Amino acid sequence: MQKNKYSSGILQYIPFFYVIWSDDLVTASELNVVQKAIDQDDSLSQEEQKTLVSWLNPKNPPSDKELKAWNQIVSNSEVKLIESETYPLATFSQKVVCEYFDVCPFNDSLKDIEVNLGIQPNHYNHLFDVEVIHESTSDFYDASEIDIILKGGHAEVVDTFRDILKDKIFEWDIHRNKEEFREVVLDQVKFLAERGYGAMAYPEAYGGTGDMEGYAYMFENMIYVDGSLTIKFGVQFGLFGGSIQKLGTKKHHDAYLNETGAAKLLGCFAMTETGHGSNVRGIKTTATYDKATDRIIIHTPGKNDNKEYIGNALHSKMASVFAQLIVDGKNEGVHAILVPLRDENHEELPGITVEDNGYKLGLNGVDNGKIWFNQVSVPRENLLNKYGSIYDDGSYHSDIKNPNKRFFTMLGTLVGGRICVARAGLGGAKMALAVAIKHALKRRQFNDSIKIQEDLLMDYPSHQLRLTPLVASAFVYDVTLAKMMEVYCDDSQPDKRKVETQVAGLKSIITWYANNTIQECREACGGKGYLIENRIADLKGDVDIFTTFEGDNTVLLQLAAKGVLSDFKAEFNSAGFASVLKILGIQISDKLTTINPVYSNKVDKDHLYNPKFHKHAFNYRTRRLTYTLARRIRDYIKKGVPSYQAFLKVQSHLLALGKAYSHELAYNTYCDFIEGIEDEKNKSLFFKLGTLYALHEIRKDAAWYLEQGYIAGTKSKAIRQRVERLCTELRPHIGVLVDGFGIPEHCMSAPIAE
C-alpha cells in the first residue's frame, strides 16, 4: 500500500475535506462547522490544527493537485464504505487511519461534522474510488425492542391478538361487490367475538376482562387487516355495546351485554341525523313518554331528521337511538333508547324504515344506512337510564340537575370511541409508512453515472424529509394515545371533562395527520402506490372519513379550544362565557413577557435540541393564542355583540388554539414517557424522534412565531436545517423504526413492501 504523507490526526479529516471541496458547494456555515470541530478536537496537535485550518480558506482553496492526492490516498486503502453505518463517513475515515497507522479511535468531532453538514450516503458513490456496501438499513437498534417499548404493559394482549390475525379469514383481498364484502367483514367480526375480543372492554360478569386499554390497541392492529373490519367491530362492540355499558344500568347489562359481546345481538348506534350532523344537542328525533301505555314513542318528525350514516344499519336487530326525551310535555334533552329494528326473520318491524347508504369512498365492507322511525313504541325500560330515569309514576328524575352538564356527561361516553378512531387512523398511517419506506429501501432511481448502481429512494434528502418526520410523529402519537386511554380508564378521576377536551383535540390532529401521511406515502411510491394491491389506495379511502365521524375535526378543535378557555371548569355555552372571561382575567396577565432578542436568535445545537426550548415554544403559542382569543371575545361582547356571534367571528382563532394545545399536549406526554425508558440506547433514539417531531411542528408554524418575534429569521433557518439533519441521522435506522411499529408480517401483503 502506498505510504501517505499525512499524520494520523490529519488523515482522518482527509475524506471530509475532499467531500467539502470536491462538489464546489462549500458555504461559510459549512466551513464554520468544520472549524469548530477542529478547535474542539483535543486529539490534534497545534501543528495539525494549523494545517487543517489552512485548508478552510475559501479564498485559497486546495488545488486540484491536492484534491487528487487526497482521493488517491483514500482510494488506495482497502477499506469498504458501509452505507448502513450510523455515521458512515466518520467510521470510514477512522478505518482508513487504522489501516495506515494501526490506530483506530472513533473521533466524535468527525461524527459532529458528518451530522452537521448533512452528508448523504448516496454522495459516497461518486466521491471515492472505493467499494460501497449498499445495505439498506442498520441493525444498531432492535425493532423488537422498539415494539416492546410501545406496547408497554399490554404486550401479551397485543401479541396474542396479532397471532389471531394469522387466520385465513383475515387474508386481505380486493372486493368489488359491497354485499359480498359486508358478509366477509361480518364473519370476521363474529370470529373475533367468538374468541372473546368483542366483550374485551366489558366487565367479567358479561364475558369481558374490563381491559379498555388493551381494546384500543386492537383498533390499530385491525386496520392492518382492513379498515372495514376495524369500523364494523367498533360500531358493534364499542358504540352499540358501549352505549349499553356506559349509559345503561344493570338491567340493561344483564339483558343485552352478553349477547352483544358475543355478536349474537347485532346493533347500531343511531345518533347522527341528516339535517343536523355534529349538532347532537339539536337532533330532532323525539322519544315521547306516553304515561297511559307506559311506553316511549320514537318518531322522526321531518324530512331531514332521519338517522344517517349509521354503521351496522343493515345487519342490526337493535339500535341505540339518541332522541329528545319528552316527559309530561317537557323536553328533558337528548337521551339514548334501545329500539328493536328487525324480527327473527330479519324483517323490519312496523314503523321502521332502513335504506342503504350505498357505495362510499372507502369502508365499503361496512353497511351504513339511513333510519326513519314512524311512531315506534318501546317499553319504558328501554331508556338507558344511568343519567336520567322515568319513574313508575311517570315523572322524570336525574341526579344531574343541570341539563347542559347532563348532556355533556352523556357525550363523555364518546371519548373512548374517539381514542379508538385516532388509534385506527394512526395504524393506517403506520401501515402506509411501512409500505412506502420498505419500498424506498429497495427501489433505486437515477444518478449521474451509467457505471454506478442507481441510488436508493431513501437516500435522497427530499425523500427522507417527506417521510422521516411522519415516522417521528407516529411514535409521539402512539405514546400519547396510550396515555390518554390510561387516563380515561382511571376511575379515580370522577371529572372526565379534562380528558374529553384533550381527546377532542388529539383525535383531530392525529386523524388529519393520518390522512396527510397516507397521501404523502402514496406519492412517495409513485404509480405503484396507486395500485390497490399495495394497500395504500384502500387506506386513503378508509381513513379519510376518520376526520368526520366520532366528531367532525373542525368542531372538535373548537371544543378543545373552549375547554382551554374555560380552564375545564365553565360550561360550554354562551350564557356561561362571562364567567370564562373572569377566570382568564385572573389567570392571564394583560402583558406577556417580551421574548429576549438573544433567545429569539439562539441557533446552537444544544439549544435547538433541548426539550426545554420545545416545551417553551409550544406553551408560548398556546398561552398567547389563549390570551389574544379571550381578549378578542371580550372586546366583541363589550361592543354589544352576542356571545354566539362573537364566537363565530373568532372561529379561525379557536381552531388555531385547539391545534396548538393538542400539539403541546402530545409533546409533553411523550417527553414524560421517555423519562421512563431504562435502556439508554433506546432512550436516546426516542429522544431524537421527539426532537424531530418538535422542531418539525415548530417549523410548520414558523410564520406565526416570526410574526410574534419569538424566533428571528436566522433561528427559523437553523430549525429547518436541524430538521433536515435529524432526518439524515435517522436514515440508517428508518427500516428498523417502521419494523418497530410491530405490524405483523402476515399483514404486510403489499408487493412493493415485500
Cα–Cα nearest to 238, from 188, 274, 202, 196: 202
Rg of the chain in Å (alpha carbons): 30
Neighbouring residues of 170: CB distance < 8 A, sequence distance ≥ 6: 188, 225, 226, 229
Within 441-552, residue ranges assigned H as helices are 461-488, 497-524, 536-544
What is the distance between the alpha carbons of residues 389 and 396, in angstroms, rounded to a whole number? 6
Count of beta carbons in the 10 Å neighbourhood of residue 639: 8
Neighbouring residues of 700: CB distance < 8 A, sequence distance ≥ 6: none
Count of beta carbons in the 10 Å neighbourhood of residue 255: 16
Long-range contacts of 26-29 (CB under 8 A, 24+ apart): 26/58, 26/61, 28/58
Contact 567, 542 (CB under 8 A): no
Strand 352-356's sheet: what is its strand order?
Answer: 307-310, 369-373, 352-356
What is the distance between the alpha carbons of residues 614 and 661, in angstroms, rounded to a whole number? 13
Up-side HSE of residue 77: CA atoms within 13 Å toward CB?
A: 27
Q: Would you call 550 a catalytic residue per the annotation?
A: yes
Q: Please report the DSSP string for 322-388 in residue order.
A: EEEEEETTEEEEEEEEEEE-B-TTSPBPTTEEEEE----SS-TTS--EEEEESSEEEEGGGB--SS-
Residue with cell 321502521: 352
What is the distance between the alpha carbons of residues 11 and 4, in angstroms, rounded to a whole number? 9
Within 118-222, residue ranges assigned H as helices are 124-127, 143-151, 155-164, 178-194, 212-222
Contact 471, 437 (CB under 8 A): yes
What is the distance between the alpha carbons of residues 437 and 472, in angstroms, rounded to a whole number? 13
C-alpha distances (whole Å) from 159 to each of 156, 218, 221, 481 are 5, 10, 10, 19
Contact 502, 481 (CB under 8 A): no
Contact 508, 555 (CB under 8 A): no
Count of beta carbons in the 10 Å neighbourhood of residue 444: 15
What is the distance between the alpha carbons of residues 14 and 92, in angstroms, rounded to a whole number? 11
Catalytic, out of 85, 273, 550, 697: 550
C-alpha distances (whole Å) from 28 to each of 33, 35, 116, 353, 537 are 9, 10, 13, 74, 45
Cα 439-441-447 angle, rounded to 5 deg: 105
**What 3-state DSSP class applies to 448?**
coil
Count of beta carbons in the 10 Å neighbourhood of residue 615: 15
Residue with cell 354589544: 640
Virtual torsion, Cα 270, 273, 276, 282, nearest 10 deg = -50
Count of beta carbons in the 10 Å neighbourhood of residue 259: 17
Catalytic residues: 550
